[in-house]
Structure 1
């Protein structure tokens, strides 16, 4: 594992908390009287963020935690809660028109239901699962953070333009710029990891060729 990358990449638990904060910030900006176009942007941003976050947890965080934590009620119900979120997200997308929700009342109801589910899920993770991971996976948090960063880049790539546009429409200029910088930082870390791994692979091949 690259020690430089491990020092500058947030741990996996820090990344999960950052994801939670970002989604909760979107929720905070959603109001029934918000203009339809902004509602569409907020919903798009929240849904993409939740989907990517859920997949990252299912592929990386939960399997690592299950290795050291068995029979935990919160851990066991986490993936079924993700499925409930995906169902609500699908229903929300079905209510989206080009310029906003086709049925604002139904959209508000669905989005607030998603909010409640996510906030309950976040509270469980931040009070139970993240402290457990920081206790039981202490020596793996940096490596898992790098793994999550690389996988996040892969998952975000097909949605980069949509995510950027919805972020700009969802947040004030300063906050949107901050989000853009955070994304740029993640890309830089990913590029650095890729470059170093490519260089190491090339050096290994040259060494085998010389011998």
Structure 2
């Protein structure tokens, strides 16, 4: 990774903390008395964000950590917690398809159950796993952040319209504009980094071919 890319790419631990903050910001806007349409948007936004976040951690962050802290109790229980989150997300998605289900107290209870698990999971990561990564992997955080940016772009691309729509419905107009701009900026940076990487690889290949 060249020096310029390393400077503009957030570290993987910064990106994980930002993901946590985004999910919690949406969660704090959820109220039992919220309208059906907005409840659906809030829940779908959180569910999509958690699914992408969990996959990114499992593909990039956890394997890197296991190389330097294998057998850690908090790290080992992270995957089962993700699996439990996915189960609850599946149940919430099914309930979201029916307006009457969203009006039921069971919908609120299921979402709050998911968020209790998320809060516990986030606390473990932010008090143990992220500081451990910053202590044990200081020279890899930028590269891992770039890997996460590229992979996030791939995972989010098919869901860009859904994420934009649910973000707009989840936040007031001013906040939604800011969130949409931030999302667009993140996608643009990801695309730029991916393009630079591809051009660099192509240039290296052409150089070898000429020689």
Q: Same fold (TM over 0.5)?
A: yes
TM-score, with structure 1 as normaliser: 0.95
What are the equivalent positions in structure 2 for 1:170-209 lying under 5 Å apart?
A: 170-209=170-209
2:5 and 2:193 in contact (8 A); partners too: yes
Matched, 1:8 2:5: no
Q: Deviations over 1:158-194 (max 9, x none)?
A: 1110000000000112222222222222222222222
2:29 counterpart residue number: 29
Q: How much does 1:209 deviate?
A: 3.4
Once residues 8 and 98 of structure 2 are traced to their aligned partners in structure 1, the CA distance between those partners, rounded to angstroms, is 40
2:41 counterpart residue number: 41
2:162 counterpart residue number: 162
More displaced stretch, 174-183 vs 5-14: 174-183
More displaced stretch, 183-192 vs 5-14: 183-192
Structure 2: any 5+ residue segments left out of the alignment?
none
Distance 1:102 1:64, change over 3 A: same
2:151 counterpart residue number: 151
SS state at 2:31 partner: coil
SS state at 2:139 partner: helix
Root-mean-square deviation over aligned CA pairs: 1.4
Q: How much does 1:103 deviate?
A: 4.5
Matched, 1:92 2:74: no
What are the equivalent positions in structure 2 for 1:42-121 lying under 5 Å apart?
A: 42-97=42-97, 101-121=101-121
SS state at 1:32 partner: coil
Distance 1:40 1:100, change over 3 A: farther
Distance 1:96 1:165, change over 3 A: same
Once residues 179 and 56 of structure 2 are traced to their aligned partners in structure 1, the CA distance between those partners, rounded to angstroms, is 19
Once residues 143 and 178 of structure 1 are traced to their aligned partners in structure 2, the CA distance between those partners, rounded to angstroms, is 27
